[in-house]
Structure 1
Amino acid sequence: MAAAKGRGKTSAKPSIPQVHWREVRPAPVVLVSGPEEFFASEAITGLRTMLRTEDPSLEVHELDASSYAPGELTTLVSPSLFMEPRLVIAERVQQTEDAFLKEALAYVEAPIEGTTLVLRHSSGVRGKKLLDAVRSMPDAIEISCQALKANELFDFTMAEFRSQRRRAEPQAVQALVAAFSSDLAELAAACRQLMSVSGEEEISTEIVERYYGGRVETTGFKIADSAIAGRFAEAMLLVRSGLDTGLNAVPIVAAFAMKLRLMAKVYGLAGSDAQLARTVGGAPWQIGQARRETRGWSEHELASAILLVAESDHMVKGGSRSPEFAVEKLVRCVALRDFSGA
């Protein structure tokens, strides 16, 4: 009895392998957790392709756990007359009906050979008992689909190219990240489009400009680059063009914040770009760019600019009735390095 209690206690602990979404593999039960829908979609699509390649007779069924009809899961996972393999994908498990929860808990206790059950759970505590049960299984896997932070988008984009044995210029990647930072699926689609149209092994800045120049030229990073370099007229033209075509004020201010903070971190430091990258974080090319951008800036100007960015961030996130005015003020002050009225 004591041993049984011990096993029960241990089973609540997450113990199944955590698998990267690019490395999905078959398992009796696959838990796809986390809020990033792009990663989840890619993982499930990859699993479906893999299983169908193994056996073209694969039957694929989808169900919605939030509007579940009792008995549906039992019907879908049951072997057919000819024993074709089955893939059953349960969406919105975070909003599960009690009936699905009960049947899924019973199923994971005794999975059916030849059937793969995918459970998509994006967030929240609803269905936690089922998640704990899956995580205690000896042969299930979990694909954690967490949202990326802004400073992780560069590496994600590089990985998209590396996954197809391609390279990309750092400036080209930065341009893509700046243009598509608000939507991971769009960013990945842009990478894949460029690889399909370019016969070169390396994706260049020129080809990014050719296909996505209109999107790139009015991004927050493009505006910040111009303002920090002191190109006042160009920066104002870009920000007004961007705002007129629907560019949100928040990512513009975020771009200024990222660039100015990195400039402050490397200001006055000695050593190679690679050495500083290990110390302050970031890629060596980003460190090199930040060091070049600090030329002509004083410590006082950098500090004033960062304080103005903090103020602008508050203004564009509800602190002002005119976030556009706050952004234009930020661009003007940074480009002219005039913080007397800030």
Structure 2
Amino acid sequence: MATSARRAPATRAKSVIPQISWRAPQPAPIVLVSGPEDVCAERATSGIREYLRAEDPSLEVTDVRADDYAAGTLLAVSSPSLFGEPRLVRVSGVEKCSDSFLSEALSYLALPQEGATVVLRHTGATVRGKKLLDAIRAGEGGGIEIACPAIKRDSDRFDFAAGEFTSARKRIAPMALRTLVSAFADDLTELAAACQQLIADVPGDVTEDIVERYYGGRVETSAFAVADTAIAGRYGEALVALRHALASGADPVPLVAAIASKLRTMARVAGHREPAAALAARLGLKDWQVDRARRDLSGWSDATLGMAIQAAAQADVDVKGGSRDSVFAIERLITIIATRAPFGSA
């Protein structure tokens, strides 16, 4: 009996070229900037331009679209001019490139132009151009790759923001960093802009008070502000923070997720007496997360923490369609957490 053949999924070719951080980009004949995170990709590309311009202010910069490509453009803009200025060619949209560009780019790898740096931006949104990417990663053209993977997890956003301040040689207090990241949890572009504004405006260390002064409106309605006040037992403040958040358009689903995340971290840290750094490394957390969880645990018992976690699990079901009233579901959760008692018992 005949069996249907299953197509094997496409796999990425093993890369033999140098992998460079987007925070420390450098030129090469071919620079592949890959991955979906546009903020990091833009930083990498602008960093290469600044690097080349610092070496020679006469740098010629040309932008080319791979999806709207005129035949012969790549060779024309990368070839030496009469005066021999260095050239930077920035190619966007390689993930949707035309056949003409793909053919000419593959040919270009065999003989890159001297004095030219060609930056190819591929978001990874499609497999279009895979043959070109595989050739670059195999070493053709003497290229390098700057990977810009998606930044989605909280820990990735913390690392991103911390890196912004580290690169600028400016200190930010751990709680200030946490407040800043929670205020811009949904938009990496805005988070990057906020970091750069603080770096430019604040002469000394960045404290939590400074972050709240700059971005207090956003911080007050963040999910973590709701969680913090509830876990601290400040029932009235927690309800006010929740209502502000909902009035600002906050979705109950991520609000419940943020609260549940904090409760889970508290449960993981509870009962461990080892130093924060050692415990953080073992649990895959940041040092400040362990310190904060230990402070949050003040006044909690195993029984009340377990009750709160169960309430968070029920609220998660309710706000995802299990209840007709998601607002009531999250208000009930806040009540249980802030009072540390079963709902309706007070």
Is 2:332–2:343's contact at 8 Å kept on the other side of the alignment? no
% identical aligned pairs: 51
SS in 2 for 1:23: coil
Equivalent residue, structure 1, for 2:155:
151
CA distance in 2, matches of 1:330, 1:98: 56
Any gaps of 5 or more consecutive residues in structure 1?
A: 1-11
Match status 1:25 vs 2:29: no
Is 2:227–2:259's contact at 8 Å kept on the other side of the alignment? yes
CA distance in 1, matches of 2:282, 2:21: 28
Query: What displacement does 1:318 show?
Result: 5.8
Equivalent residue, structure 2, for 1:134:
136
Equivalent residue, structure 2, for 1:39:
40
Equivalent residue, structure 2, for 1:88:
89
Equivalent residue, structure 2, for 1:191:
195
Is 2:239–2:331's contact at 8 Å kept on the other side of the alignment? yes
Any gaps of 5 or more consecutive residues in structure 2?
A: 1-12
CA distance in 2, matches of 1:330, 1:291: 21
**24-33 or 106-115, which deviates more:** 106-115
Equivalent residue, structure 2, for 1:204:
207
Equivalent residue, structure 1, for 2:293:
290
Q: Of 171, 175, 194, which residue of structure 1 is paired with 2:175?
A: 171
| CA 1:129–1:266: 2 relative to 1, 3 Å | same
Query: What displacement does 1:81 show?
Result: 2.7
**267-276 or 216-225, which deviates more:** 267-276
Letter in 1 for 2:64: L
TM value normalised by structure 2: 0.88
Q: RMSD over aligned Cα, in angstroms?
A: 2.0
Equivalent residue, structure 2, for 1:113:
114
Equivalent residue, structure 2, for 1:8:
none
CA distance in 1, matches of 2:68, 2:320: 36
SS in 2 for 1:60: strand
Match status 1:335 vs 2:335: no
Query: What displacement does 1:264 show?
Result: 0.7
Letter in 1 for 2:78: V
**100-109 or 248-257, which deviates more:** 248-257
CA distance in 1, matches of 2:250, 2:113: 51
Q: Deviations over 1:25-58 (max 9, x none)?
A: 0100000001111000000011111111211221
Q: Deviations over 1:76-135 (max 9, x none)?
A: 223223222211111111111111111111111211111111111111322111001111
Larger fraction in helix: 1
| CA 1:273–1:78: 2 relative to 1, 3 Å | same
Letter in 2 for 1:298: S
TM value normalised by structure 1: 0.89
CA distance in 1, matches of 2:136, 2:248: 47
CA distance in 2, matches of 1:257, 1:296: 18
Letter in 1 for 2:286: A
